[in-house]
Amino acid sequence: STKEEEEEERLVFIVDPIDGTTNFQAGLPIYAMSIGVVALPPPPSSSSSSSSSPEVVAGVIYNPALGEMTSAVRGRGCYLNNRRIKPPSQQEDDQNHHHLPPRTSILNQSLINVGFPVSKESTLRASSKAVTALATKVRGLRMA
């Protein structure tokens, strides 16, 4: 097999046909279809002792309620409905908008929607700890 075929064999597709199943079942338009592509590291060879980690190389999220498709490929940028999305620093360069805060402070302006399965008490405790840690760092927190 060629090097290209070997690389293709290391690709794993992760598909969530209804990300937000509970919302979908309840008729809430807060769900999406998600696909991620991960490149697994090559098998270790006798000449290489370093082990690399899996790497996310692409992703697509389709939100049918809003008619939005967000896609990204590593090294090629991110797109919303085929229009390039630029990081705040690049938007500032391209447009005469007010300066946006650095990425480290964008989280405190974010409105976050969370949901988690409550199948076991241990899952509920772990999820509750994560929500508690996040709640004080964001503008608002919603649970659906």
- In the predicted model, what is the mean pLDDT of the chain? 82
> What pLDDT sits at residue 141?
87
Closest CA to 89 of 80, 81, 101, 72: 101
Whether 85 contacts 79, CB under 8 Å? yes
Residue 85, amino acid: I
Q: In the predicted model, is pLDDT for residue 75 greater than 70?
A: yes
Sheet-wide strand order for 68-73: 11-19, 32-39, 55-63, 68-73, 77-80, 83-85
> What pLDDT sits at residue 105?
59
Q: Which residue has the tokens 């199943």?
A: 21
Which residue has better confidence, 61 or 102?
A: 61
pTM greater than the 0.85 cutoff: no
User: Long-range contacts of range 3-8, CB-CB < 8 Å, 24 or more positions apart?
Assistant: 6/42, 7/39
Which residues, in sequence order, are CB contacts of 9 under 8 Å at separation 6+?
Answer: 1
Half-sphere exposure of 95 (CA within 13 A, CB side): 10
Q: In the predicted model, is pLDDT for residue 18 greater than 70?
A: yes
Helix residue ranges per DSSP H, 1-144:
3-9, 21-26, 88-94, 103-106, 121-135
